[in-house]
Amino acid sequence: MSIDLAVIKKLGGDHLDLSFWEGARRGELLLHRCGICGKHYWPASRCVEHGGTDMAWVPASGRGTVHTYTIMHHAYAPRMAPHVPYCVAVLKLEEGPFFHTNIVDCPMEGIHVGLEVAVRFEEDEVSGLTLPVFAPVA
């Protein structure tokens, strides 16, 4: 089943982001990379130096560190209701870009800035998307 563009648009993305979500469905974390300077971006972007002439989706290592985070004490999204309190973190991925995600398989008190994490994938029945989430590196 292909990714529903309407879902992506509702989330602020567009057709350029489809490859990312198709990758997630295959269990691959992709980043948007400028072929001229090698800088990685997420979500779909034009390179601030070189524009959009050589942007392509490439596989990422799937590892990063917690750059900042918050712990939500209310279920602001239906998917999260069973998980309150839950953590929304912004990671700094190994390749450089920031990435919002949930930290899973980790007690809330174990989460801190600098925590090393690795990707795994969860199905989201609400959006129909496969979401990259992250757990501490063992």
Partner 1 sequence: MRGRFAIAALGLTEQGIRLGRSDRDLRGDAVERALREAGLERDAIDGYIHCWGEREDLRYLGLSPNFSWALSCGGATPTAGILAAIGMIEAGQAEMVACVYGIAPTSGYIPGVPDLKSIGAHSYGYPSLYGMMGAASAHALHARRHIHLFGTTSEQLGAVAVTQRAYAAVRPGTTGYGKPITLADHQGSPMIVDPFRRLDCCRDTDGGVAILVCKADRARQLSPNPVYILGAGMGQNIANWHKGVPYDHHDNIAPAKARAFAQAGITLADVDMAQLYDPFTISVIMQLEAYGFAPEGHGGPFVAEGGNGPDGPIPTNTAGGQLSGFYATGFTPIIEAIVQLRGQAGAGQLKKADIALCSGHGLNAGVQNSWNHATLLLGNQP
> Looking at 30-38, 53-61, 91-99, which segment touches partner 1 (CB under 8 A)?
91-99
Is the CB of 53 or the CB of 70 nearer to partner 1? 70
Min dist. Cβ of residue 79 to partner 1 (A): 7
Instruction: List Cβ neighbours of 95 (8 Å cut-off, separation of 6 or more).
Output: 31, 33, 40, 60, 61
Map tokens 């398989």 to a residue: 105
Give the residues across from 120 on adjacent strands: 133
Binding flag, residue 79, partner 1 (CB under 8 A): yes
Site residues for partner 1, 108-137, by CB under 8 A, read: 113, 124, 127, 129, 131, 133
Measured distance CA(69)–CA(72) in Å, rounded: 10
Q: Residues for the chain: how many in total?
A: 138
Stretch binding partner 1 (CB under 8 A), from 25-33, 51-59, 68-76: 68-76
